[in-house]
Structure 1
């Protein structure tokens, strides 16, 4: 997790500075990272709140953006279902994209030592995310608009680093290719739900190819 903790440095700084530049107090900006702990959802929510968007729209938008975590929870559920609730709750809180990418080992979360290891990795990301947010809050007060520096590209590079090592068969490759191409096309056409639609198209393609191989 340590390389990923460093990789989200620009992302966290952008989140903190963007909040400050959109009228949030330093306390509100930091509290958002402490409680929400979801980079992409935070960035979108900050923009929506600053635009006086209705609470319902903010809730629906952030729900859609974060809905992938429901799938993460389902995927990890079988590995932690036998553990007491006091273990499952903290695992669910720190189950980010980054930790989920490292959760595919068959014995992940199976023993107390592995649970402690996973929680240590997950909470290290939580700690660093809040440190980077704090730096962004300070930078947002002292420096000009940081949104023009292209720091949001850190989001794309982080996910690329997570996705590429997982491409180990044709079905996964097809899923990635279809998702990427459809996302670029739908967004260029101005389709509002481009992210959700491209994800569904990619997953559907990967699922169909997997079924074909099994048959």
Structure 2
């Protein structure tokens, strides 16, 4: 596992500066995800949730893909057990994020582990993972995580308000923000051939699944991509350690 040196501070001013530095690093990703948040809030209203329930999804669950899946499954009358299994599968990538960051976060006090664990998203991992930073900074990570959290919830609130007053908000193409956000997260991580193999495999597999109308495209393409990257690394011996 990657382990970055943990930053130590001598005074509170340094902590505040690190916090706002993390928030600033998160702002571009927060802005990019605003259309997705607007869409999520409006779709929650269309799905029959009241404004408080709609906002609660973002405040408590804090996972756009999961929120969209839950709304669709509830509308379809899917059982609670099936919803839980689907949520577990959709968010399984966060277990990988947790494994990468475990060595840096596990020594922290419980309040820090709980806070950073809750705030750990694709976006936070992109700016604060040990492979990205030479030194792990909990205040930097906290600032980035909270910035994204409040941005997501404000966007959801905007979508809730718009969903009650503007019909067919989903027809504006806001869902493109979902793809755009993940493209922006993935491209900077392509630093060696094994990662490129993973990305290309996932892209091809997901397109094939979409063309063939296979609903489990994500569950198929993700493991295939990881296996392809692992196989390339073993075959060439050029992986990162």
How would you bin the TM-score normalised by the shorter chain?
over 0.9
Q: Does 1:26 align with 2:26?
A: no
Structure 2 counterpart of 1:105, from 129, 132, 143: 132
Deviation at 1:165, TM superposition (A): 1.0
| Structure 1: runs of 5+ lacking an equivalent | none
Give the equivalent residue in structure 1 for 2:205: 182
Structure 1 residue ranges, 4+ long, deviating more than 6 angstroms after superposition: none
Q: Distance in 2 between matches of 1:210 and 1:85?
A: 36
Q: What CA RMSD, in Å, does the superposition of the two structures yield over aligned residues?
A: 1.2
| Structure 2: runs of 5+ lacking an equivalent | 1-25
Structure 1 counterpart of 2:160, from 128, 137, 156: 137
Q: Does 1:165 align with 2:188?
A: yes
Give the equivalent residue in structure 2 for 1:60: 85
Q: Distance in 2 between matches of 1:156 and 1:108?
A: 30
Q: Distance in 2 between matches of 1:85 and 1:107?
A: 24
Give the equivalent residue in structure 2 for 1:96: 121
When normalised by structure 2's length, the TM-score is 0.84
Deviation at 1:212, TM superposition (A): 2.1
Deviation at 1:200, TM superposition (A): 0.7
Matches within 5 A, 1:196-207: 196-207=219-230
Deviation at 1:213, TM superposition (A): 2.5
Give the equivalent residue in structure 1 for 2:35: 10
Matches within 5 A, 1:42-81: 42-81=67-106
Does the aligned pair in 2 maintain the 1:15–1:42 contact within 8 Å?
yes
For each residue in 1:50-88, what CA deviation from the matched residue of structure 2 results, as whole angstroms up to 9, or x when unmatched?
A: 222111121111111111111111111011122121211
Does the aligned pair in 2 maintain the 1:79–1:108 contact within 8 Å?
no
Deviation at 1:190, TM superposition (A): 2.2
For each residue in 1:86-110, what CA deviation from the matched residue of structure 2 results, as whole angstroms up to 9, or x when unmatched?
A: 211111111100111121235443x
Does the aligned pair in 1 maintain the 2:32–2:181 contact within 8 Å?
yes
| Corresponding residue SS for 1:47 | helix
Does the aligned pair in 1 maintain the 2:42–2:169 contact within 8 Å?
yes
Q: Distance in 2 between matches of 1:85 and 1:100?
A: 19
| Corresponding residue SS for 2:78 | coil
How many residue pairs get matched? 211
Q: Distance in 2 between matches of 1:107 and 1:88?
A: 20
